[in-house]
């Protein structure tokens, strides 16, 4: 699927044949192509699930619910790595797909062996761009994540984010954000059920002249809880969530480095720290 998007989305450079200066300004023929590596450290309080703006803690904990002992769901921590191969087809569309691996530690147990636990495919697209107009940029991001476990509690998660961004200046270095996220998790066995997670948030961003960019989002998420047989190991909650991003961009608005801090109340706080280090094969 990624190769298909690359081929169909190649941007051909404009060739007027007037002079060498116009030829030098021709757009590059290849899109950005990179491994958008993310290293994530997460903590979860006992008896809770955290979906937030990502799903790795949710999928790994559900998959590990293989005995009555784990239904007590002690507090845990995990270290995971996402490796999505990403193609920026143009300035409006990106597609990606890759694997995720993790090691975790629950209660007094030792850390587990690092292993691949899921793979993800998805896209992000601007369906409308502000470009100095009155109406905000509308962005949709959607992905599907499938756990690789062969246990009866293997899961498939569908995540969709719809976000509006209104730039406050012509350079689009300051702006306001508002969005919604819907996450649906399907469990392979009919004896387990995970209710949807719905989130609404507002925020804003500011980019300095040195290309450091800060983004903040604050919202409320409602999780309907999870059931296994007649038990409810993870009750429903409606609680606030906070996410802060600090990114280093280049002059062409490509991300060079990023760090994200997230606090999701579940109702006790669950923390997540993400380091984002894209590895470019092609960068325009």
Q: Which has the closest alpha carbon to 139: 148, 129, 147?
A: 129
Domain extents in the chain: 35-282
Question: CA-based angle 195:68:190, to the nearest 5?
Answer: 40
The CA distance from 162 to 165, in Å, is 10
Question: CA-based angle 89:51:276, to the nearest 5?
Answer: 45
Locate 55 and state its tokens.
């799903």
**pTM for the whole structure:** 0.83
Under CATH, which number does the domain 35-282 receive? Answer: 2.40.160.40
Q: Which residues contact 198 (CB under 8 A, 6 or more apart)?
A: 180, 181, 182, 183, 221, 222
CA distance between the termini of the chain: 22
pLDDT (tens place) for every residue of the chain, 284 residues total: 444 544 444 444 444 445 555 544 555 568 899 999 999 998 888 877 777 786 554 555 555 544 333 445 678 888 999 999 999 999 899 999 999 998 988 888 899 899 898 899 999 999 999 998 999 999 999 999 998 877 777 888 899 999 999 999 999 999 999 999 999 988 888 888 888 999 999 999 999 999 999 999 999 999 988 887 776 667 889 999 999 999 999 998 899 999 999 999 988 898 999 999 999 999 88
Range list of H helices, the chain: 2-8, 20-24, 56-63
Q: Which has the closest alpha carbon to 162: 145, 143, 144, 138?
A: 138
Q: What is the pLDDT of residue 62?
A: 52
């Amino acid at each position: 699927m990624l190769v298909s998007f690359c081929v169909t989305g190649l941007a051909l450079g404009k060739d007027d044949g007037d002079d060498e200066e116009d030829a030098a300004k021709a757009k590059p023929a290849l899109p950005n192509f990179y491994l958008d590596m993310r290293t994530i450290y997460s903590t979860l309080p006992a008896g809770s699930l955290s979906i937030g703006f990502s799903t790795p803690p949710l999928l790994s904990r559900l998959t590990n619910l293989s005995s009555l002992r784990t239904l007590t769901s002690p507090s845990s921590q995990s270290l995971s790595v996402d490796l999505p191969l990403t193609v920026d087809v143009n300035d409006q569309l990106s597609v990606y797909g890759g694997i995720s691996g993790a090691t975790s530690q629950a209660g007094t147990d030792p850390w587990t062996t690092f292993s691949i636990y899921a793979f993800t495919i998805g896209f992000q697209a601007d369906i409308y761009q502000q470009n100095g107009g009155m109406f905000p940029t509308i962005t949709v991001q959607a992905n599907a994540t499938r756990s690789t476990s062969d246990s009866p509690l293997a899961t498939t998660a569908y995540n969709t984010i719809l976000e509006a961004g209104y730039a406050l200046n012509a350079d689009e270095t300051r702006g306001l954000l508002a969005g919604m996220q819907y996450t649906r998790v399907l469990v392979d066995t009919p004896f387990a059920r995970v209710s949807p997670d719905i989130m609404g948030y507002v925020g804003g961003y500011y980019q300095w002249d040195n290309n450091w960019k800060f983004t903040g989002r604050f919202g409320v998420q409602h999780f309907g809880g999870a059931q296994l047989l007649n038990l409810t190991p993870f009750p429903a909650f409606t609680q606030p969530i906070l996410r802060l991003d600090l990114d280093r961009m280049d002059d062409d608005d490509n991300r060079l480095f990023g760090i994200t801090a997230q606090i999701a109340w579940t109702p006790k706080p669950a923390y997540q720290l993400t380091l984002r280090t894209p590895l470019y094969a092609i960068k325009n």
